[in-house]
Amino acid sequence: MSSLGSLEGLKVIDLSRVLGGPYCTQILADHGADVLKIEPPQGDETRGWGPPFDAHGTASYFLGLNRNKRGSTMDLSQPAQREQLLALLADADVLVENFKTGTLEKWGLGFDTLHARFPRLVHCRVSGFGADGPRGGLPGYDAAIQALVGLMSINGEPAALGGQPLRMGVPVVDIVTGLNAALGIMFALKEREKSGQGQFVEAALFDCGLSLLHPHSANHLLDPERIPGRSGNAHPNIVPYDTFATGSTPIFLAVGNDGQFAKLCEGIGAPELSGDPRFASNALRNQHRDELKRLLEAQLAAFDDCEALADRLVRAGVPCAPIHDVPAALADPHTAHRGMVVEIGDGYRGVASPIKLSRTPATYRVGPPSKPTR
């Protein structure tokens, strides 16, 4: 009998909405957990975050986060509905929710109450800032957290060029919070094997946003006089690590050591650059980054096929890539080879789990729950 995945037999009650929580529970569901997604009567608000919408009127935003889950609705403000939830929790392993701090407690469903009744239950809360502290209990949203924790301050073109702080083009804070929530759940389940006890797991957007600041946070903590700022596509520590103009479309070079730099110079027909004392080490290349960029772009101007150049360089050991748009990335032959676009039935297509297990891989069993009816 084939396994549904490494988490087969794990029962998860998912009360979360929008992104961080649903992303977490989709990870668990892809790897075999039985996830019951319980929405409020009006449904998860992301069902309306379109276009595009599917044939049933559900937005792609919702579809991308909720496959492999069973669906139900509850109005937890009603005592009878809370009793139904408690019945479901009786044999559940994990509860995931992202209610505002105090809401479940008001309904008699806080961690302390649930832990006393269901001591093995792992209770995971995705929150904005945690329950206490100066911002405790406040709502958190991805873009606002990006602004608050400094992510926007380091994203965009340099101020000297008139650049303004920019939000990342994807909701990185929500996504990494979902990942950390899933990781925390697995830590708690592993510990439960020894103690027999569940525990409270919290993944806060604020904490996770701060965790994304490497190497800018590390740079500043070591040297407080160093104030990280916007550098466009360039790396604050590594050179050449930036977009570079060619004779066609730009190429991204991500050259991390002296050996790679030598291979780059050889590959573009300028071996003398690797012997130039100004560029003999990364530290020196960092000091002379503007000069190096001018020299490299002058040499790269002779190449009128960026795709071919990038392919040749990367096969020679130079980390680099052409800059693809989303359709090109999803249609890339390697995307197909890695099985990274999954289809379920006739109507669902989504990005597959990036977590690859050799014996118990992710499985794709059912599409997202249908739209609840009032």
Q: Is 57 helix (H, G, I), strand (E, B) or coil?
A: coil
How many degrees, rounded to 5, is the angle at CA 347 between CA 46 and CA 360? 85
Per the DSSP assignment, residues forming a β-bridge with 202 are: 125
- Residue 63 CA to chain centroid, in angstroms? 16
Distances (CA, A) of 8 to 22, 29, 148, 278: 18, 9, 39, 57
HSE-CB at 201 with a 13 A cutoff on CA atoms is 29
Residues 6+ apart with CB under 8 A from 141: 128, 205
Write down the H helix ranges in the chain: 20-30, 60-63, 79-89, 103-106, 111-117, 142-148, 172-195, 205-211, 216-222, 258-267, 272-275, 282-287, 289-300, 306-315, 326-331, 333-337
* 93 catalytic per annotation: no
6 DSSP 8-state letter: T
Which residue in 14, 34, 44, 174 is the catalytic one? 174
CA dihedral sign of residues 86, 92, 93, 97: negative
Distances (CA, A) of 365 to 5, 244, 299, 343: 11, 43, 51, 10
* Catalytic residue ranges: 174
